[in-house]
């Protein structure tokens, strides 16, 4: 039970030597942290340990020493000998490990159709593994498995804390099981008293993160009550994300901050309610269709455009044309245009866009050509030089040459963001007005 006026805190423990050594990247820690924040619980640490019982136990005890009300673990619930999380948590909570016969039967039913696919597997070995997964701390609440591994909510001994939520490692299993765990009585009791929060996101494009930091300082100096808000800024794909978390009664403070940012950055603020540029473009497309011809982005533009349900309705196709010969043969670029202006030029980008629209019979064409590096740049066209064009057939378009910072991966990823912002402005009726090289699109 949290004390009056004090937010409950939580620790996140990621287990698995494969995560600790970097073989598998941790996706669960940040995801769980966001879910805790949504519930009004403050994460105090994300810790990763290998499959060593003494290290897991030490991590649990450290988090306990920080006064957390809740610990969420990920991983170590499989059938193999190194999957020891349930056993370690039982030891930590001072609870005897017992075989849950009903759970054993449920896991057995899950495994039955799988066993038919491997007729050479020893059924007795499978049953032994099954039995291991059904041994749980006495008094734990079982979370129905999505795969074969059940989750657990293990309450503390009377008068102690914290409650431990034990979840499997695969995100496709952990995420739905988290929602089930959060509805259990033991979980709700652990975070009782957590305040209700709102989270709002503003998105800006075309200014450095240092500029928004200065704006926040100016807002505070102007009397915006930032002390009532938790403001986090993040540079993501060349955009600035301003994420603000606040209690329900601080809505006025957030409104004042939003209005201050909107007044200071009217041209750069493109999303007032968290919609991504991808979502905005899809909403603006209507019955129009899109095709791409890209060089330096190597297919990332097509991948980003199709990374959502229903993309087949409006995405017609694309080509990746690195060589000049490919630009000519696949996208219909005039070779004399390349000879006259160079492959990295607004003129060639425009020809790529027109060629993509023509080849795939799309309403809108996007052309991208540039130098992502390393190497290949010149004094006139250094690494990071990228040219863009977005065209709507029979209507008009926008071309632009930019110099984007960072290494190859940064340039390629930011290029897709720039192209989407140009497409957004085209769909909103703007034509041939973005020619600045500073990365700042204007409304």
Note whether 324 and 343 are within 8 A (CB): yes
CATH fold for domain 197-271: Alpha-Beta Plaits (3.30.70)
| Residue 170: predicted pLDDT | 95
| Residue 318: predicted pLDDT | 96
Radius of gyration of the chain (CA): 27
Residue in 210, 171, 246, 163 with CA at minimum distance from that of residue 19: 171
Q: What is the CATH number of domain 9-190?
A: 3.40.980.10
Neighbours of 105 (CB within 10 A): 11
Residue in 333, 343, 334 with CA at minimum distance from that of residue 386: 343
- CATH 3.90.950.20 residue ranges in the chain? 277-427
The CATH architecture assigned to 277-427 reads Alpha-Beta Complex (3.90)
Residue in 362, 375, 304, 369 with CA at minimum distance from that of residue 333: 369
Residue 39 burial by CB count (10 A; 0-12/13-18/19+): exposed, middle or buried?
A: middle
Token representation of residue 214: 């200065």
Note whether 191 and 2 are within 8 A (CB): yes
CB within 8 A of 166, min separation 6: which ones? 73, 77, 85, 86, 89, 140, 151, 152, 153, 154
| Residue 436: predicted pLDDT | 37
Where does 298-381 have alpha helices with state H? 300-305, 324-331, 335-341, 346-359
Residue 421 and residue 415: Cα distance in Å, rounded? Answer: 10
| Residue 437: predicted pLDDT | 34
DSSP letters spanning 417-443:
HHHHHHHHHHHTT--S----SSS----
| Residue 439: predicted pLDDT | 40
The side-by-side arrangement of strands in the sheet containing 151-154 is: 42-49, 9-15, 70-74, 163-167, 151-154, 141-143
Q: Where are the beta strands (DSSP E) in 237-363?
A: 239-247, 269-271, 290-294, 315-320
Note whether 56 and 49 are within 8 A (CB): yes
* Residue positions counted in the chain: 443
Q: What are phi and psi of 313, to 5 degrees?
A: -70, -30
Task: Report how far apart, in Å, the C-alpha atoms of 123 and of each of 114, 171, 293, 350 are.
Answer: 11, 28, 54, 63
Q: What are phi and psi of 330, to 5 degrees?
A: -95, -30
- CATH 3.30.70.2860 residue ranges in the chain? 197-271
- CATH 3.40.980.10 residue ranges in the chain? 9-190
pLDDT by residue for the chain (443 residues), tens only, comes to 344 457 899 999 999 999 999 999 999 999 999 999 989 999 999 999 999 999 999 999 999 999 999 999 999 998 888 889 999 999 999 999 999 999 988 888 887 776 667 666 666 767 776 788 899 999 999 999 998 889 999 999 876 889 999 999 999 999 999 999 999 999 999 999 888 889 999 999 999 889 999 999 999 999 999 999 999 999 988 899 999 999 989 999 999 999 999 999 999 999 999 999 999 999 999 999 999 999 999 999 999 999 887 888 999 999 999 999 999 999 999 999 999 999 999 999 999 999 999 999 999 999 999 998 777 777 788 889 999 999 999 899 999 999 998 888 999 999 999 999 999 999 999 877 434 333 433 33
Note whether 61 and 49 are within 8 A (CB): no
DSSP conformation class of 154: E
Residue with tokens 């991948």: 303
Helices (H) and strands (E) in the chain, counts: 16, 17
């Amino acid at each position: 039970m949290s004390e009056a006026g004090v937010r409950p805190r939580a620790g996140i423990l990621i287990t698995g030597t494969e995560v600790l050594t970097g073989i598998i990247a941790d996706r669960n820690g940040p995801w769980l942290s966001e879910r805790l924040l949504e519930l009004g619980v403050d994460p105090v640490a994300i810790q990763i340990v290998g499959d060593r019982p003494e290290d897991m136990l030490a991590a649990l005890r450290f988090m306990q020493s920080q006064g957390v009300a809740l610990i969420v673990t990920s991983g170590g619930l499989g059938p193999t000998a190194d999957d020891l999380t349930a056993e370690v948590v039982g030891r930590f909570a001072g609870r005897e490990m017992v075989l849950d016969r009903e759970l054993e039967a449920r896991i057995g039913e899950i495994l039955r159709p799988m066993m038919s696919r491997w007729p050479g597997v020893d059924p007795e070995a499978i049953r032994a593994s099954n039995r291991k997964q059904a041994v749980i701390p006495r008094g734990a609440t079982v979370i129905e498995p999505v795969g074969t591994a059940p989750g657990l909510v293990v309450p503390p001994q009377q008068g102690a804390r914290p409650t431990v939520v034990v979840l499997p490692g695969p995100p496709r299993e952990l995420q739905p099981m988290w929602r089930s765990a959060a509805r259990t009585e033991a979980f709700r009791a652990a975070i009782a008293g957590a305040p209700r929060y709102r989270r709002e996101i503003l998105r800006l494009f075309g200014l450095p993160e240092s500029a928004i930091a200065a704006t926040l300082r100016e807002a505070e100096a102007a009397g915006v009550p930032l002390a009532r808000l938790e403001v986090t800024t993040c540079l993501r794909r060349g955009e600035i994300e301003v994420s603000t978390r606040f209690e329900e009664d601080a809505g006025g403070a957030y409104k004042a901050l939003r209005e201050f940012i909107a007044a200071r950055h009217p041209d750069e603020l493109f999303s007032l309610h968290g919609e991504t540029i991808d979502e905005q473009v899809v909403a603006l497309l209507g019955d129009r269709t899109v095709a791409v011809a890209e060089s330096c982005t190597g297919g990332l533009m097509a991948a980003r455009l199709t990374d959502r349900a229903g993309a087949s309705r409006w995405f017609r196709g694309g080509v990746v044309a690195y060589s000049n010969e490919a630009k000519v043969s696949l996208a219909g670029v005039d070779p004399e245009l390349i000879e006259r202006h160079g492959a990295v030029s607004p003129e060639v980008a425009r020809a790529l866009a027109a060629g993509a629209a023509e080849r795939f019979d799309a309403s809108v064409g996007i052309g991208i050509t540039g130098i992502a590096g390393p190497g290949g740049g010149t004094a006139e066209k250094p690494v990071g030089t990228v040219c863009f064009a977005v065209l709507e057939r029979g209507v008009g378009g926008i071309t632009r040459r930019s110099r984007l910072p960072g290494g190859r991966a940064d340039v390629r990823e930011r290029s897709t963001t720039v192209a989407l912002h140009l497409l957004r402005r085209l769909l909103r009726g703007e034509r041939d007005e973005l020619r600045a090289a500073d990365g700042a699109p204007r409304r």
